[in-house]
Structure 1
Amino acid sequence: AIHANDSKRVCGSGIDRHDNIGDGFIGEEGFAAIMANPAFAQVPFLLEVPGFEGKGPDQQNIDILKKLRDQAGIAP
């Protein structure tokens, strides 16, 4: 499984602060690259995001990942 979250801090900072998909330093471009990799097509993603309303993983974060997967042409 992939524990998916964007990052409030830059890579190598030593600080593990989660952000919503597309709102951090990984960004939608980084997640698009992950979603386009066929090696991850059947791997479950576990969201570790604060949620856009601060209530934890939410439908909006799920929808962003699904959109990126669909744009990559990868079947669920």
Structure 2
Amino acid sequence: MLHKYRKIVPIEAEQFNGSKEQVKRYPIIVLGTLQDGCVYTGCPCVLKTKEGGMNLKKGDYIATGVDGEHWAIDQDIFERTYERVN
């Protein structure tokens, strides 16, 4: 029988803006060039995860799980499925 499930553990997330600071903070591989302190908007980036590399673009969210693992979430999907908690 099919059941519905809801996540019970909050995650931390940050919107990727392409800054050099974010590239240093997360396991991101930049496949293009850096310009003016930011990753070039058309530049493909890869976020290293436990399961392998995930494509990452400006506007996507970088989520951090309970074990410190990271993954990328498309901006549209993130905004439809997560809400901010304080």
Larger RCO: 1 or 2 (CA < 8 Å, sep 6+) = 1
Larger radius of gyration: 2
Specify which structure has the higher proportion of strand.
2
- TM-score, normalised via structure 1 length: 0.24
- TM-score, normalised via structure 2 length: 0.22
